Structure 1
Amino acid sequence: MSQATCPQCHAPFTPGQRFCPNCGKQISSTGEGVIPTVAASNSSLPPTMAANSNEGLPPTMAAGSNPNLPPVGNSNPNLPPTMAAEDPANHQQPYSQYASGAYTPPPPPSYNGYPGGTPTPNDPYAPPPPPGPGMYSMPPIPPKKKNSLPWIIGAVVVVLVLAVCGGSLYGITQLFSKKSTDNKTQTTTDNNNNGDNSNDTATKSVTLTNLAISYATDQITFTSIEQADQFPDDTYTKTYSYEKKSNFVRIHMKEKQEGGRSAYFSYSSAFSLILPDKTTIKALNAGEFSGPKEGEQRENWVDFETKKPVDLNSLVLRLGTAEEAQMEFPLKSNADLSEYLPKQADLNKAFNYGPMKWTLNTAIQRYDAPGAQAKKGKVFVIVSLTASNPSSSDFWGYDYIRLKSGDTTAAPEYTSDDDDLNDLSAGASNVKGTLIFQVPPSDTYTLVFASGKNLSGTNVTFSIK
């Protein structure tokens, strides 16, 4: 036979109990919560159990149709709800049963009868039931992870401190190393000045004195030579030294443009260095891009790449491009440059050209003229003339003078100052002019004055030694 259960919490109870022993819910006397087979008719049960009669049942279990039971009357608040309708004045026996303690009050709510211990909804202070089968439960709170950020920050700080300390130590080491190198360089320079290390290829610097030459009328005075694996003010040598191990030679100099015109030569084209093994290298870079302007004075330097250290006392400098009259000389103090110095002849040689009186004052032979270098195999010859026209006729002439050198005859250069000599008015005296010619060098030169209408030609020969 099936067990009767409470309709509210479904806890089992014994038939006849009016209150659920688990949740305290009242069980109706009409059979609520009773096993269905008991409430219905059953041939196996006694007739009094199958019908609605109250035979054999206590008065309190009657269904209300027993005349022996008092009718439901005044309610008694001190009795259970089902007992409140009975009249204690007419039915002393049932009342005396409750009064004498025969009535058993319902047990307090229990949370152990139902799986999971579900509390009664009417109890606001009941603890929450533990989750049962099929009920939702909160997931357990995971343990709090340890924060690793402070350790990461600490590691970064340590690395930075080590880097700063290492950099500082390296800087101090480099500083002392640089000072030591500077001291060694100074000692070497002093030795160079004393001329005691002519064969020392480790020479770092050499001072030059009394070494000057004119190139394109740029008066160049050389002051010193030095070599190093790079120069801090030269981006070319710094770039080269990063790419490969090399050595560079720098020539220091002072410049002054004395020709009255600007020179626009390129140092990388015009400067070449001849090494002790006779290897020739072109200049790599210079402090200034091109030759100085008219009247400009400045300091400058030119760098050469030599691959490895060289003997600074055995270097030769070549000035001039392949198309120009080149000049070669050793980079040494007091080197003999007489071959390339200007040569001048004070002539004061008088002659007549028609009715006019002329004087050849001076003649100069040199490798350069204002702002320019002579072409290969030639020199500039510059003559100074004075003319007077005592006649009553004006003289007008243009491009009528030539200079002959050997088999070459040349007209004056456009840089000549001969405008006044082209227009000699009647009675003019002491008119001066300068003519510049570019011819092969020779022992003798001849000025040729052309013949014209009513004017015979004249030749004037002179030498420059």
Structure 2
Amino acid sequence: MSQHPGSYCPNCRAHLMPEQRFCANCGTVIDVGAHQPTARPPSMEGWASAHNDGTVPATPPPPPPSSFPQQPPSYYTGPPIKDSSKSVMRQIGCGLLSVILVVLLLCGGVSYLGYNWLRGLANSPSSGNTGSTQSSNSGNTADSTPTSAPIKTTSLSGSRPLAFIYSDVKITLLDVKQAASFSDGVTPPKPGVIRISFKEEQDGTKAAYYSYSDVMRLILPDGTIVAPITAKNGTVTDASTNRQNWIDFPASTDLSVSNMVLRVGTDAEAQMQIPLKANADVSKYQPKTVTLNKQTTYTGLSWTLTSAFVRWSANGKHAEKGMIYVITSLKVDNTSAQDFYGSPVDYLRLKAGDVTSAPSGDTTVPLVIEKGKTGATGECAFLVPQGSTDFSLIFLATPSISGSQQATIPFQI
């Protein structure tokens, strides 16, 4: 196939030279016979042989070089060209993996936040989960409003007050409350609190000092003795106390209050057993008074035992174990010609059975009674064995009092 001037490559449209068999730009084969050796026609061979005088080449010269850059033909067999498709695929794979990891992290974070939100909603009071709220509140502490159960109240008021005197403080029991716990108290290890409410009254003459945690115990129906866990006012220190108070004991709310006993007094003191029921008989713990008006003469003075009374406490102290106080009230008239000097601790004694006791604590009998003084008064307390009924007030003959001779006033309570 021959070319005509001004022809173009059918592949890249590059300009072709006459008789050009390959496109210098893209390497496209222009003449399909270019792959085969060019055969001369017989007439040409004969002509070349006949006319070859050494100036005509046996074969036509190759086409002149083109000014266009040479491109490898489609059958190019040079060094392998690097394939970038694998690098591209690796980059795409890494990017896809990063996207997947980000998506997984986002999904995990959203799931975690959602779980916590649902958990908080389930535990909140507004979610209606009252069971869990009550369970957590039951561990708190209470006064008149329990945290997990209603209060059961047993009144101790009746036709006669449930009252007694401890260390010169009058205590009147008011009621007993039972609850799982109280908001202003202390929650015991096991649910259940017995709260005893009472009123305190002091006469103001002598301050008492004691702690309710030391002097009060609750005896349960089965005989178990329980110590208190807390009190509104745990101690008494004011000589003019007049207030409401309460004390808490750990005990099941299923127990019957009427079968419980409040024990008052330490192991070294005379203990009082107070039944927790209205109108209980506590008369043996009440003061007993007897009017006597019995007289004797001692050192020329007239002494009158006007009265005597039995108490479980005196001078701000509670009686010792097995003992009780007997307090004598005296009136003295000094009609002699001289003043009287003497301390009751030196010359006064109280005999109860086989026991003779000296004055206990402070006395109010005057140390000096002037001559001509009448109507001087005072009291003197003695600790005697419980159960004593026959007594003798003894005025001792003592060298410390001039002209003293023993005198006695017997009496009964």
CA contact (8 A) 1:218 1:258 kept: yes
Q: Distance in 2 between matches of 1:424 and 1:346?
A: 24
What is the letter of the counterpart of residue 127 of structure 2? L
Contact 2:178 2:253 (C-alpha < 8 Å) held by counterparts: no
**Which residue in the other structure is 2:32 paired with?**
none
Q: How far off is 1:236 after superposition?
A: 4.6
* Structure 2: distance between partners of 1:102 and 1:316: 136
Q: Does 1:445 align with 2:403?
A: no
Number of the residue aligned with 1:231: 182
Kindly provide the CA deviation profile for residues 348-384 of structure 1, in whole angstroms up to 9, marking residues without a partner as x. Answer: 3333212222222221111111322111221111122
Question: Which residue matches 1:295?
Answer: 240
Q: Does 1:105 align with 2:72?
A: no
- The one of 101, 109, 115 equivalent to 2:79 is 115
Distance apart, 1:308 and its partner CA: 7.0
The 5 Å alignment of 1:21-420 reads 103-108=64-69, 110=71, 115=79, 140=91, 142-143=94-95, 144-146=98-100, 147=102, 148-167=104-123, 168-170=126-128, 172=130, 204-209=152-157, 210-237=161-188, 240-241=189-190, 247-258=192-203, 260-277=205-222, 279-287=223-231, 288-306=233-251, 309-398=254-343, 399-418=346-365
TM-score, normalising length: structure 2: 0.68
Q: Which has the larger radius of gyration?
A: 1
- Residues in 1 aligned to 2:293 and 2:111: alpha-carbon distance in whole angstroms: 93
SS at structure 2 position matched to 1:150:
helix
Tell me, yes or no, if the aligned pair for 2:315 and 2:361 is still in contact at 8 Å. no
What is the CA–CA distance in structure 2 between the aligned matches of 1:438 and 1:102, rounded to whole Å?
A: 153
Q: Which runs of 5+ in 1 are unaligned?
A: 1-20, 23-55, 58-100, 118-128, 190-203
* 1:252 Cα offset (Å): 1.9
Partner of 2:59: none
Q: Hey, what's the Cα distance between the residues in 2 that align with 1:401 and 1:302?
A: 41
Letter in 2 for 1:213: F
TM-score by length of structure 1 reads: 0.61
* Runs (5+) with no aligned partner, structure 2: 1-23, 26-53, 56-61, 138-144
Q: Output the aligned Cα RMSD.
A: 3.7
Counterpart secondary structure, 1:160: helix
Shift in Å, 1:344: 0.8
- Determine if contact 1:324/1:374 at 8 Å carries over to the other structure: yes
Higher strand share: 2
Q: Match of 2:217, SS?
A: strand
C-alpha distance in 1 between matches for 2:367 and 2:63: 165
Query: Contact 1:405–1:439 at 8 Å: present in 2 too?
Result: yes
SS in 1 for 2:91: coil
- Structure 1 segments of 4+ aligned residues over 4 angstroms from their partners: 111-114, 136-139, 170-178
**Secondary structure at the counterpart of residue 390 of structure 1:** coil
Partner of 1:455, secondary structure, is: coil
Q: What amino acid is aligned across from residue 295 of structure 2 in structure 1?
A: A
Deviation at 1:447, TM superposition (A): 1.3
Aligned in 2, Cα 1:283/1:300: closer, same or farther, shift over 3 Å?
farther
Q: 1:140: how far off?
A: 3.3
**Structure-1 residue corresponding to 2:38:** none
- Which whole-Å deviations, capped at 9, do the CAs of 1:252-302 have from their partners, x for residues lacking one? 22222336333333333422333333x131323231333453212333323
| Matching residue of 2:9 | none
- Identical residues among aligned pairs (%): 33
Which residue type is aligned with residue 108 of structure 1? P
Q: 2: distance between equivalents of 1:102 and 1:154?
A: 75
